[in-house]
Amino acid sequence: MEYTIQKLAELAGVSTRTLRYYDELGILKPARINSSGYRIYGQYEVNLIQQILFYRELGLQLNQIKDIVTDPAFDFAKALHEHRERLLDKRNQLDQLIANVEKTIAHSEGRMKMSDQEKFEGFKQKALKENEDNYGREIREKYGEETVKKSNEKFMNMSEEEYEKSVNIEKEMRELLLNAMKTRDPASELAQRAAQLHKQWLLFHWPSYSKEAHAGLAQMYVDDERFTAYYDQEQPGTAEFLRDAIQIFTGVKNH
């Protein structure tokens, strides 16, 4: 069966503008252009738009999706099994958050006791899962399974006060870093203060601290485009500037 762009848009629940944009990006090309100049899509394209929407639902960026679906080794069946696993993980995360809300309601109504630590358990599990999905393999390769395990345990055992403080320290560090970049000097007082705050933030997550590991992590921020994108989202070059500031702070330079 074949579809015009209008019919495919209706079928997939997206706009024709979105389909045209996907065409421009090279993510989803029509099967052919008919004699009247209209885009015509076939079964392959129907299956492909489903895959694209799955990846979008899972939070992937369009450039990442393009790399996946245009890879000659891309396997529809394998991708569906992977989607299923990720969606089940996502459902488990939502189930944990729902259970957390229900316990909090019962606690507020006096039907049960709930510790402060339990109030944040669902959020922590979600954060750990996202971190594992995004960076788990790279972090394990760099620091080892045991270090990652201890780090996760430390994170899950954080008190409400510690959790909130770690979030605020990272926010303060990010804001300070943007101001420090205006000096263009990673050795400046502002930049070194940002590096110090980064160390404080790490201490909430790492079982132990070393200057070498700190500098190594900063280098990873530059080497891995996902870390770079996270730090560069407000100001391009932030990841490199932070790396340089941390290398000065620790006195360790990676090559």
φ and ψ at 94, to 5 degrees?
A: -65, -40
Mean pLDDT of residues grouped by 10 in the chain (255 residues)?
Answer: 93 92 94 93 93 86 88 87 80 69 65 56 60 63 70 72 86 93 94 96 85 90 85 90 96 78
Distance (Å, whole) CA 52 – CA 84 = 14
Let me know how many helices (H) and strands (E) the chain has, helices first.
Answer: 13, 3
Distance (Å, whole) CA 138 – CA 160 = 29
- Residue 213 pLDDT: 87
Locus of tokens 């420090």 = 180
Contact 142, 223 (CB under 8 A): no
Give the sheet arrangement for strand 32-33, strand by strand: 3-4, 39-41, 32-33
Nearest to 201 by CA among 236, 240, 175, 232: 175
Q: How far is CA 110 from the centre of its chain?
A: 37
Whole-angstrom CA distances from 170 to 23, 55, 118, 157, 220 are: 39, 29, 23, 19, 18
Distance (Å, whole) CA 9 – CA 202 = 46
* Collapsed DSSP state (helix, strand, coil) of residue 185: coil
The continuous run of DSSP H or E covering 32 comes out as strand 32-33
> With a threshold of 0.75, does the pTM exceed it?
no
Contact 33, 20 (CB under 8 A): no
Nearest to 205 by CA among 141, 143, 150, 136: 150
- Residue 166 pLDDT: 87
Strand-strand pairing, 32-33 and 3-4: unpaired
Q: What angle do CA 54, 58, 62 make, to 5 degrees?
A: 75
The continuous run of DSSP H or E covering 129 comes out as helix 121-143
The tokens of 173 are what?
């560090």
Q: How many CA atoms lie within 13 A of 197 on its CB side?
A: 21
- Residue 48 pLDDT: 93
Q: How many CA atoms lie within 13 A of 48 on its CB side?
A: 21
Amino acid at 106: A
- Residue 81 pLDDT: 86
